[in-house]
Amino acid sequence: MSAHEACWHLHAEPFAPGEARHQVVEHLTRWGYQLEPAIDEALRLVTSELVTNAVVHAGKGKITVTLRAEGPEVYVEVQDGSMNEPCVHRSADDEENGRGLFLVEMLSSSWGSEPVHDGKKVWALMPLTGQLDKAASRPLLGDLARMVCLGRLFLLVCLLPVA
């Protein structure tokens, strides 16, 4: 397949991650990519985490999402107005947040961030075909997503007041 690129702007609002996920899938479908379920799920999760970080850490303002697909890989980039560099940290079991970039690191072929003149861009390179490169040595994506959801659910149940 030939190279394709799309770029769009979102407001740093709570709906932005969902809109970005929708746009990524819509563009790839329009460009003729048919994603395997695990790849589709990983791409949506990575996109969501990159945009969520921009919403949380950049405050109000504009977020720019760039999607570039060529051959078997897709590059997802999120640019925001914050100069703070992202970092991966291991969250404690009882922490509600802090797992986003850990998930990006686990699911992407590579990822990084770079300063730009009015903020930073954070990007991830994802496979569009075949298996996730790191899947053999890590839990399957569905299992990972379930573990994250169950962890948050467990935390919620533990924090509920006892009547």
CA 50 distance to own-chain centroid: 4
Per-residue pLDDT at 136: 38
Buried b (16+ CB within 10 A) or exposed e, 45-59: bbbbbbbbbbbeebe
Q: Residue ranges per domain, the chain? A: 4-159
Mean pLDDT of 139-160: 46
Mean pLDDT of 133-147: 47
4-159: CATH topology: Heat Shock Protein 90 (3.30.565)
The tokens describing 69, both together, are: 């697909």
Residue 122: other Cβ atoms inside 10 A:
25
- Grade residue 153 by pLDDT with cuts at 50, 70 and 90: very low
- Grade residue 116 by pLDDT with cuts at 50, 70 and 90: very high
Per-residue pLDDT at 90: 66
Per-residue pLDDT at 95: 53
Per-residue pLDDT at 160: 45
